[in-house]
Copies of this chain bind each other. A is one copy, B any other.
């Protein structure tokens, strides 16, 4: 079942804006058994929208429009579709009353231009918009299904779920996609591929995609299922991948690593303090994205200067002089010091050279040390991270959290970070 998405809006043809609705739409369309074959972005010009729609009608079973249903003269999706299908737009008085009511409930009277939003294509079904004024439209033309949906993300998401999906499920013929995602720390893209390619290549019907983000690798499995079919090959492949990658997989739930370590800290009844030099707040900012993180995160120090390292994190001046601010010894002293001053069970530190300046032959750009300390042990891990200043910092923050995850694991399961 071929589907395509047409995003309408001149702002989407500027350097400032991207169509983001299509990511959500693609996910939901796939789950309902439709494959997205084309995405087109077109401006607020009736003849351009008509041209794109004409092409779509000739090749797809389902055409989803987003945008161009607003009240202004620039909102031309309805008119362009009507022109191509050779049908009329008529004012629907019940929609008009609904829009007037929405304005009235907020204490306004409806501006005259909003009347346009009450125009419907003859023969179309109206899709209720409970989050805005523009209703959607649903129609069929010679076996092609067409949905006109509003552009604002919160409106289209809700309308798609409540109004479009039920209609698609009746159409989809029961085909659907199942997915499984692995998030992997501490391995490169090619290391992951070398480990799992011999496995996934023997599963013809499961599509495997390995994506390298700045901080970590993700591996996506997807499998189209016919009606009544079970994803037994996907389940088998997933369990073999799990076995091959072991503890390098930090989640299969598509959650960020700070959610994983947060759960571990909470379950252990532990607490954490951080000392950040080169990342200067990124680790603390990530950890506290998780609601309720105050139950295990005590706080930390941005030890950008040596004074912050000695005065706030109790790093002996001698350690700094002898080994330098970017060293395993300083990383351990920072982790130990910050947990002591904040009274936390665990201390985590990051110190490194993010660039663009400050590298040397002995301590190159990208060199990062992570320190960890609790009542039983102090340790540090050294790594050279690739990329420019921002990439090194982002990778260093992730690396620190990945090291913390290893530190929190039972020793038998931990292995190398």
Contacts and interface: CB of A to CB of B under 8 A. Distances in A.
Contact of A304 (B11, B39, B51, B288): B288
Interface stretch (A24-32, A98-106, A235-243): A24-32
A244 interface: no
Oligomeric state, in copies: 2
Main secondary structure of the interface of A (DSSP, over half): mixed
A390 interface: yes
Interface in A334-380: 341-343, 355-357
A307 interface: yes
Nearest to A25: B15
Interface in A4-36: 11-18, 20, 23-24, 26-27, 30, 36
A201 to B, nearest CB: 14
B284 A280 contact: yes
A293 B283 CA distance: 18
A299 interface: yes
Interface size on A, as a range, is 35 or more
Contacts of A218: 16
Contact of A342 (B23, B26, B38, B308): B308
A406 interface: no
A48 to B, nearest CB: 6
B301 A302 contact: yes
B48 A38 contact: yes
A307 B282 CA distance: 21
A282 B65 CA distance: 37
Contacts of A299: 280, 301-305, 307-308, 312
Residue with the greatest number of chain B CB neighbours at <10 A, chosen from A274, A276, A298, A301: A301
